[in-house]
Amino acid sequence: GLDAGMKIFQEVKDTFGCSVLTDVHEPWQAAPVAEVVDVLQLPAFLARQTDLVEALAKTGRIINIKKPQFLAPQEMKHILHKCQEAGNDQLILCERGSSFGYNNLVVDMLGFGIMKQFGFPLFFDVTHALQMPGGRADSAGGRRNQVADLGRAGMSQGIAGLFLEAHPDPDKALCDGPCALRLDR
């Protein structure tokens, strides 16, 4: 549950001295998660849920806003506006690809320039951009072998940085293994 998760996050912070970022999926979770976690992430599929956006914003924590796969880059301004109206301008934008047909995501490099104009740091979630939703019988597929190429393409756009998922053994990961990097890379 939530309490057990927060204990794990606190242990990670204490052990490694690092900041922690995690998704928040429901408005009631925002305040308790913000007591421990440094950066709250608004998941792409939930980014248009006004009650969740407002709850995250009201915590005062940094919010990493994942661009929904179904949203044009210029439409991110509406999510930013909701956060600012709720009193929070500690915002990060995160590109993670757009739906292109079935089982495929693509990244429109022109979208980086559009989102940079909003004046907030822009990151690129390379590993999720390489997902192939529904590409495997029981989970998402991915194209891990293209992480370096796509990451370099993103950085060429003058963005703030990359968001990368990693796992000690991606082939055994419970989630997103096909597009995750190996920790030793």
Per-residue pLDDT reduced to its tens digit, 139-172? 566 677 778 888 999 999 999 999 888 878 878 8
Of the candidates 112, 100, 107, the residue with the CA atom closest to the CA atom of residue 159: 112
Q: How many domains does the structure of the chain reveal?
A: 1
Higher per-residue pLDDT: 49 or 170: 49
Strands, E, within the chain: which ranges? 21-23, 39-42, 62-66, 91-95, 98-99, 105-106, 122-125, 131-132, 141-142, 161-163, 166-167, 181-182
Report pLDDT digits (tens) over 56-102.
999 999 999 999 988 999 999 999 999 999 999 999 999 988 777 67
Q: Is the pLDDT confidence value at 116 over 70?
A: yes
- Summary mean pLDDT of the chain: 89
d(CA 91, CA 66): 11
Higher per-residue pLDDT: 12 or 139: 12
Band (pLDDT 50/70/90 cuts) for residue 135 is low
Phi, psi for residue 62 in degrees, rounded to 5? -65, 140
Please give the pLDDT value at position 176: 72
Q: Is the pLDDT confidence value at 185 over 90?
A: no
Q: What pTM value is reported for the model?
A: 0.89
- For residue 27, give its domain range: 2-182
List the CATH number of the domain containing 42. Answer: 3.20.20.70
